[in-house]
Structure 1
Amino acid sequence: MNKSLFVRIVDRLSNEVQFFRKKQDVTERLGLSALQKCTTAICVLAYGSALDAVDEYLWLGATTARLCVENFVEAIINLFGDEYLRRPTPADLQRLLHIRKLRGFPGMIGSIDCMHWEWKNCLTAWKGQYSRGLGKPTIVLEAVASYDLWIWHEFFGPPGTLNDISGLAHLFLMT
């Protein structure tokens, strides 16, 4: 995540959500900052970290980390949901098509990317289904994103499920 986006999120949460404001406890010691709480939530969500893994460098326990994640997710949905967590409008699609045309890609709204992530904790019974001869089980992430990093389509699933075809079919249905 780029720094300006992260700072924008932290500022908005600290100004509009009570949980993310810095408070004093009964001994008049200052609590955690919005920066610490947001960093905790993003680390846990982005890296799939255990709740107590952030204790080493952010100095908070698993229970507090859980509260940070829960409040962060709820706040993101409430504050940014109407703008970013919605289906594209015809105006969005026209804007994207126009920009892609100017860049030499007429008729294209975004770029598709498909990657395999190693699944470290895959159940033994499922290992063969998710391995596809690679030796290690993987899970596929497929995403279509526009130049401004809006994600218009995503898919998680086992390898070999014709992910590219399903993504392309979904894109054609959207336009």
Structure 2
Amino acid sequence: MKDYFSENCKYPPEYFHRQFRMRRELFLRILNDVKAYDDYFIQKRDAIDRLGLSFIQNMTTAICILVYGCATDHCDEYIKIGKSITIETLMTFCKVVVGVYGEEYMCPPNKANIARLLRELEEKGFLCMVGSIDCSHNDINVLDHSSVFNSIVTG
């Protein structure tokens, strides 16, 4: 909390971006959307009245695993969360993200989306960047997993 989320954070915003691969404002927006969708991420008391994990601990755990692809027990020391809870948190986070954002953001791009993205990219000086819509940049290692590439191949 003191490192990234308190009023006077230990680390500046650029450190947050480097750690979580997103701006703090985006992280907090996702956090609020996730909290509103599922009460799993709201801090509760357990059966013996101990305060459970905070929503920031839960989401930080899930984001770190997704961003870095690290093992579930990697979060033990820094975030203070055990492996079994980490797995549960990650699974719940992924389901909630699909529930919250799936319809709008997790669908293959249509012609209107592609045209809008190309206009926005052109305004920023990136011409003909269709290959980067799904972050593949036509890299042969990820082409096999590219929804855009699969759509083109299958017609």
**Displacement after TM superposition at 1:103 (Å):** 4.5
Tell me the TM-score normalised to structure 2 length: 0.68
CA contact (8 A) 1:93 1:109 kept: no
Residue 10 of structure 1 contacts residue 35 of structure 1 at CA under 8 Å; is this kept in 2? yes
- When residues 54 and 155 of structure 1 are mapped into structure 2, their CA distance, relative to the original with a 3 A threshold, is farther
Alignment pair present for 1:79 and 2:123: no
Alpha-carbon distance change, 104 to 3 in structure 1, aligned in 2, over 3 angstroms: closer
Distance in structure 2 (CA, Å) of the matches to 1:101 and 1:154:
16
**Which residue, 58, 71, 77 being the options, matches 1:37?**
58
Residue of structure 2 in register with 1:5 after alignment: 26
1:123 alignment partner in structure 2? none
Partner of 1:93: 114
Equivalent residues in 2 for 1:102-141, closer than 5 Å: 102-103=123-124, 108-110=128-130
Give the aligned partner of residue 68 of structure 1: 89
What is the number of residues matched between the two proteins? 129
1:81 Cα deviation from its structure 2 partner: 0.6
- What's the TM-score once normalised by structure 1's chain length? 0.61
Percent of residue pairs identical: 30
Residues of 2 paired with 1:52 and 1:11: CA distance?
25
Any gaps of 5 or more consecutive residues in structure 1? 113-143, 146-150
Change (3 A) 1:90 1:65: same
Question: How well do the aligned residues superpose, as a CA RMSD in angstroms?
Answer: 3.2
Question: Any stretches of 5+ residues in structure 2 without a counterpart?
Answer: 1-21
State the shift of 1:96 in Å: 2.2
Contact 1:100 1:109 in 2 (8 A): yes
Q: When you count helix as a share of all residues, which structure comes out higher?
A: 2
User: Rg: which structure is higher?
Assistant: 1
